[in-house]
Amino acid sequence: MLALHLHYTAEDAATLIWAKSLIYSALEYLILPIYAIPDMLPGIGLSNDIAVMSATLATSRLM
């Protein structure tokens, strides 16, 4: 749900370019199969995804 909200925020014409690039980078991080902490690690794997999406959402709302 959070990823969908970020996608619609990025598609909005009023969203600034730096915010769009931040959002698309976070969404890319979410779908990449290989990144810093794999989802297979219990407890840590999914929490880093949530942290990246939450930080991106908080930053994009500051615009």
* Structure confidence by residue, pLDDT tens digits, 8-59: 888 889 888 888 888 888 888 777 766 666 667 677 777 777 787 788 888 8
State the Cα–Cα distance between residues 20 and 16, nearest whole angstrom: 6
Give the pLDDT confidence score for residue 46 in this predicted structure. 73
Task: Report the predicted TM-score, pTM, of the whole model to 2 decimal places.
Answer: 0.66
pLDDT attached to residue 39? 64
Sequence-distant (6+) residues with CB within 8 A of 46 are 39
Q: How far apart are CA 39 and CA 33, in angstroms?
A: 9
Distance separating alpha carbons of residues 63 and 28, to the nearest angstrom: 21
Q: What is the pLDDT of residue 38?
A: 67
Kindly give the residue spans of alpha helices, DSSP state H, lying in 1-63. 2-11, 17-31, 45-60
